[in-house]
């Protein structure tokens, strides 16, 4: 079990972004807002009671939909193999794409940083936490935040990683991340930013959690020429210009990295084009917070 007193420099009140106090092993509190946040099943629930009800309802629906689409809960061995090994998936291209992206992200972190010693890292919309696990293996101190504590599709599944490369799992809203102002060297949205209903507000909140000179990464988010409807369950395809402008509005300087995808994805794109379907891709976006305001 994680000792929460070691995470008080990273965690923040989702309402005011100020420091939290550990009141008991099962309770954190914000002295500024006078709010209490419970710790249940070793997962801090860092959202107000009203927001938690919304997150729990979202997570129930998310689980129902995943099962209906044919996703299966992963075994511990499958979780530990992500994204290098391909577990069963209803979409054969899914994990190969995720693996390609992770290889690029890992390479960028090794060559350009931020390195683990630059400070803690947050994985917002972490799901089962496979990216947090890979970052923790690489030496980073990681907080994984997700709406869902589901044991198949949410943070409870992340217990598979704790004996190998531990990180802190926290229930929270990626639009109001439970992170302390200026605490992090790196914030990642891994296939999750397209769930934000307030894109600019979400990016501003993430930018506020970064140290000066910190880095925000958006990966595996579907991006199209213009914003488009997604699956109709809270997600959508972000527009390229929309995201660029939102990052600038959050005070971040963005660099777009086109990832060379393999022949299977390019064939998929060609077929979509012939059918007249809307095209989208998954570029990597890296956005820097200025060193001085």
Ligand X SMILES: C[S@@+](CC[C@H](N)C(=O)[O-])C[C@H]1O[C@@H](n2cnc3c(N)ncnc32)[C@H](O)[C@@H]1O
Instruction: Give the span between the Cα atoms of 277 and 189, in whole angstroms.
Output: 26
Distance in angstroms (rounded) separating the CA atoms of residues 270 and 133: 34
Question: Alpha-carbon distance 125 to 187, whole Å?
Answer: 11
Report the residue number, 170 or 215, with the smaller CB distance to ligand X. 170
In angstroms, give the least distance from the CB of 290 to ligand X: 26
Q: Which residue is nearest to ligand X (CB)?
A: 127
**What's the min distance (Å) between Cβ of 16 and ligand X?**
18
CB–CB of 250/204 below 8 Å? yes
Rounded to a whole number of angstroms, the minimum distance from the CB of residue 207 to ligand X is: 17
25 versus 103: smaller Cβ distance to ligand X: 103
CA distance linking residue 180 with residue 19, whole number of Å: 6
Q: Output the smallest distance, CB 193 to ligand X, in A.
A: 9
Minimum CB–partner distance for residue 274 and ligand X (Å): 27
Q: Which is nearer to ligand X, 197 or 292 (CB)?
A: 197
Where on the chain is the footprint of ligand X (CB under 6 A)?
62, 125-127, 130, 146-148, 173-175, 190-192, 195
User: Beta partners for 19?
Assistant: 12
Q: Which is nearer to ligand X, 78 or 276 (CB)?
A: 78
Q: Are 56 and 64 in contact (CB under 8 A)?
A: no
Distance from CA of residue 80 to its chain's centroid? 18
Cβ closest to ligand X, residue 31 vs residue 92: 92
Q: Find the shortest distance in angstroms from Cβ 228 to ligand X.
A: 16
* CB closer to ligand X, 6 vs 242: 242
Cα 291 from Cα 274, distance rounded (Å) = 46
206 and 198 Cβ atoms separated by less than 8 Å: no
Look at residue 165 and give its three-state secondary structure: coil
């Amino acid at each position: 079990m994680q000792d929460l007193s070691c995470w008080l420099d990273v965690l923040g009140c989702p309402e005011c972004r100020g420091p939290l106090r550990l009141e008991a092993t099962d309770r954190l509190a914000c002295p500024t807002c006078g709010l209490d946040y419970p710790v249940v099943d070793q997962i801090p629930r860092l959202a107000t009671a009203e927001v938690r009800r919304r997150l729990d309802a979202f997570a129930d629906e998310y689980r129902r939909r995943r099962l209906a689409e044919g996703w299966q809960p992963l075994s511990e061995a499958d979780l530990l193999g992500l994204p290098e090994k391909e577990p069963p998936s209803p979409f054969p291209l899914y994990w190969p794409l995720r693996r390609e992206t992770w290889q690029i992200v890992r390479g960028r972190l090794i060559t350009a940083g931020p390195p683990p010693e630059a400070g803690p890292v947050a994985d917002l919309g972490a799901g089962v936490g496979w990216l947090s696990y890979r970052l923790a293996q690489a030496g980073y101190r990681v907080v994984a935040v997700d709406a869902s504590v589901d044991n198949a599709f949410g943070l409870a599944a992340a217990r598979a990683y704790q004996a190998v490369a531990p990180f802190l799992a926290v229930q929270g809203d990626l639009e109001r991340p439970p992170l302390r102002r200026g605490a992090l060297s790196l914030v990642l949205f891994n296939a999750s930013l397209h769930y934000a209903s307030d894109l600019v507000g979400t990016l501003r909140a993430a930018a506020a959690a970064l140290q000066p000179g910190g880095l925000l990464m958006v990966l595996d988010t579907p991006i199209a020429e213009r914003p488009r409807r997604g699956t109709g369950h809270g997600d959508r395809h972000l527009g390229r210009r929309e995201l660029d402008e939102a990052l600038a509005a959050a005070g971040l300087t963005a660099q777009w990295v086109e990832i060379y995808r393999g022949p299977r994805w390019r064939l998929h794109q060609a077929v979509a084009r012939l059918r007249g379907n809307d095209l989208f891709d998954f570029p990597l976006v890296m956005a820097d917070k200025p060193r001085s305001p």
